[in-house]
Chain A
Amino acid sequence: MRKTRMFMIFFFALVLLFSITIVFAGNGEEEEGTSESVEKGPEPVELVFWWWGQQEAPGLEDWVNETVELFEKEYPHITVETVLQATENVIDDFITASAAGTPPDLQYFWNGIYHQEQVWMGYIEPLNDWIPAEELKHMYASELSNFQGKQYRAGWYLLPMTWIYNKKLFKEAGVPANMTPPKTWDEFIKVCEMLKKAGIIPIGAGFKDGWWGEHNTGHGLVQQEDHVADTTKLLVGEYKWSNPRWHEHWKRLEQLINADYINDDANSLELYPGMELLLTGKCAMTQSIGSYVPEAEKQLGVENVGVMKYPTFGIGKLAEMPIMDVQGVGISSQSKHKKEAAEFIRFMHRPDRLTAMWEMVKIFPANDTWDGEKYIEGPNLRTMWTWFQGENTAWIPNMIAWAFDSEVMHVAPQMMMTGATTDDIVKLAEEVIARWKEENPDLLESHKKWAGVK
């Protein structure tokens, strides 16, 4: 008994000692890098960079390592410690670390609301004071990175939001050349019907994890919008989901589901297994992302793969525009080395690093000064590159609060698959919005400011 008690006392003393050590070690680190040392320059500086992306862009880790190595050679007094984050931690870790006063200097950020909420908490530094305007404007981060005239992220790599189709299956179903790919909704329905009659699943999808529903809203709702800020106007209640204009995309989805144009097991598949139906030749079309195209070409052959926009049904000014999302990087507002962190971002955007990104990872660098025409080969990749060079629009699900994301967009296709109608989804959307507004009055105001709603 006495031995047990002694052991317990020893154990808790050890835990206490360990905690104290960690706390004090943390404080020591903070004091090392004062703003004074930035001014002196040659003082050693250690930048910490938390990032994500290897998961959706395999090979990016090699590019990051090489970039760090070259940067350290050019700036011998600066070292960069990189930490590759897990998907589940990308947002939460930065928030927690910022709240604790120990954030990294540089942080990878998803677009739109995924970093704007942290901007509103004061955790992210605007880049305008640290990167010359002439350079910053080319580091394409989309308008979703701006808040009240300041830009909080630099773009890193682009994600064209595309549909992919299988040309071989189109031919087998007898789809004429003028509808390969379909451009309007009527053509789309005709193509789906032809494929179905030929015994081919027209659209491959996986609803289980919800992301397909978000993607579909991204492709569909934007067609009804004149400006991406319309999304926020729907969120804050200035526009109503009950207005047919704003739920037309769900009507179209309902049409596809009811006509059996989508695989019948969509509710038991997740987004990527749904997409993989295209790779295995089981379906003719799927909504996807640009970085997935090379894999489709590898599996099906370049000649059998095509990229397309979601066929047009919308009446908004954005209806026919391609969609371009972009991943980015920003600086913590608590960083003691903002100048050096900004220098690292500028280094990431040097022409040789942009070309290396393409050559090593085969993803589009988010910089409109990079001469992609010179390097990008293959019809699909070149098509998507032209989307970036021309007029395009942002990925609007990145403007929507998580509550609406998870409680409406994610579940809408699942519910429709089991009999719910657009009216049911509209009712749900209105209820969720009403609750969200009451529960988050501060976020409501921030969203309004973000979209310029008075």
Chain B
Amino acid sequence: MKAIEIKHLTKKYGKQVAVDNISLSVDKGEFFGFLGPNGAGKTTTIKCITGIATFDEGNITLFDTDVVKDYREARQRIGLSPQEFNIDFFGVTHKVLDYVAGYYGLHKEKRKERVEELLEQFELQDHRNKPFNTLSGGLKRRVTLARAMVHDPDILILDEPTAGVDVELRHDLWKHLRRLNECGKTIFLTSHYLEEVEMLCNRVAIINHGKIVADKPKEDYLKNGRKLEDMYLEITGGKVNYN
């Protein structure tokens, strides 16, 4: 069964085509990397999957559930960690997690248990009563990641989850994501750290100017001892200035 299936998705902002008739699918349990330069359409695609954005053409299903017709069922299965922080500035950490768990219908006792688990996992216990706007960038990222996982979703969509995160947490996060993936969770990851994608993902798609320009198993990019970064630059037509 496909965890995510996107068919002929087109999203326009006025006359600007942000995503241009893309189709891709992610298998259940897959660790999927979605790469592209800034403004290529990665975040827009994620917004269409999660319901933050509407789209003009095409359809998206999550485990065969249409994200428009059956939006509630579809949203129950996704956890989103967005690129930009979108948490109540004045909300304190444990309450933010508790409220979001509530939106997903978790009972009080289960919520409490889950919030404590995540506070420990992301080393946020000392910051549990601090308002979001007083946290450092790295801590904010941790809260955002914990929030995405609060309802134990089947699909985790992580839009640049390690941006602004220190090396220790990044390594912890990689370990944790691997563990989640081994437990059967599907992970959809975008990142500008290509070594991270190379290390974690089974399959990688590249989007450029709103179109999918590559979609294949990771190994196919790494033939003849090449690095994902070299292939990525070649495919997107990017140039590296070594001076």
A and B interact physically: no
List residues of chain A with CB under 8 Å of any chain B CB.
Answer: none
